[in-house]
Structure 1
């Protein structure tokens, strides 16, 4: 076969938050004179995010919400759960954090990711993004100078459906103009990335630093320097 399209997950595959969310939320609160424990914020955020995604999946789009509103609710509820209840403080605080996460202030490129993207481009591969992210992603990728590597960026917000639903992969394949057997996907989530892409008929690779016995070793990428050899086997 001849691989033509390589799609990427983004969060914890190409980008990661610079500091744990609890620390970033604490710093912004402190700048406003609010003292709150970062560990409490981290725990609260994880709980609120998980529950909100379950109740209002994919930013609540099918329930009439916007991703902006969805995130303001998540941030506000995170602080409430950690003991901050002044609504006059919560709304501007949530809005400021939402806007800051639009930029590279809170995001950094994972070590080796820039080089991996450059090398993939040199192989002649067309590349794109498939991510369970909101509409801010294209701006964030531009801020960190990764956008130039991609022909298109397909977020779950723009697609109207989130991984592991196969529809988002089908939309990406249509945008890329390729059949699934000529496309590969790389991401860090076993279900959302590795299994879902394979169910869509694509080749897929799981980016994880720890060995796993439940997938073939040549499907696992423990560091970016393993990516090109894996891809060359598929290309050739």
Structure 2
């Protein structure tokens, strides 16, 4: 799935979020970890801090953008093909944004343009339905092994932070997916006034978790926003989908064998 698509905070809904949340419950994951012999016993972290991108890395879409836009749009007369919608979405998402921040506050001005460009529909009720859909955890999922990896790294003493170009819906989404309490810091561009690749947003996250750039790693899915931005301040970055493809791989690379 294209990186731009994965980062979109506006997708389909009708997904069994309750079952998803139950599957990621803390007690359940602890039981799985004990049965599998997981955890951090006998291991010491190679890094003291992990910074994670949200959309496209920690948060994955439950359904493709075009499918969501098309399904929600039918009652409003949206009859465009999924291919047409996807092309319009990519075009609008990647276009230069005239303002300092793409995601200001709740991000509605930006997303209103994206939805209209993708579907040729400017109906306010349609936009609001799409927008609200992506404000709920049902529209998103965690990658396989993400919850367990976060828990094990936290148990090993690794400081965890989310560093994301996102609007104000992000905190609720993390809470809906039962991972917000895993993080020592959640740094959202619309709240701090900086967007990746600006060095300030990474520095804020590192300061909040109390870890130096040389002793932390960032994982994200964008070559410019994540990798170039992190590397500019001496922060190592692994690209999701290229350098690491599973959360269990992130854990293996962070936690080195040896005594704690």
TM-score normalised to the size of structure 2? 0.74
Cα distance in 1 for residues equivalent to 2:48 and 2:160: 9
Partner of 2:47: 3
Higher helix share: 1
**Cα–Cα, structure 1 residues 49 and 182, in superposed 2: closer, same or farther, change >3 Å?**
same
Cα distance in 2 for residues equivalent to 1:95 and 1:116: 35
Counterpart selection for 2:89 from 45, 65, 87: 45
**Cα–Cα, structure 1 residues 182 and 138, in superposed 2: closer, same or farther, change >3 Å?**
same
The answer to whether residue 237 in structure 2 is matched with residue 204 in structure 1 is yes
Cα distance in 1 for residues equivalent to 2:103 and 2:228: 24
* Map 1:67-216 → 2, pairs under 5 A: 67-80=107-120, 84=121, 87=122, 90-209=123-242
Cα distance in 2 for residues equivalent to 1:72 and 1:49: 11
More divergent stretch after superposition (164-173 vs 33-42): 33-42
Partner of 1:216: none
The answer to whether residue 256 in structure 2 is matched with residue 223 in structure 1 is no
SS in 2 for 1:59: coil
Cα RMSD of the aligned pairs, angstroms, is 2.4
Contact between 1:5 and 1:183, CA under 8 Å: does it hold in 2? yes
Cα distance in 2 for residues equivalent to 1:129 and 1:68: 22
The one-character-per-residue Cα deviations of 1:173-197 (angstroms, maximum 9, x if unpaired) are 2222332223221122232222321
Partner of 2:102: 59
1:33 Cα deviation from its structure 2 partner: 4.9
1:101 Cα deviation from its structure 2 partner: 0.5
- Number of equivalenced pairs: 215
Tell which has more relative contact order, 1 or 2 (C-alpha 8 A, sep 6+).
2
The one-character-per-residue Cα deviations of 1:185-225 (angstroms, maximum 9, x if unpaired) are 1122232222321221223322224xxxxxxxxxx323222
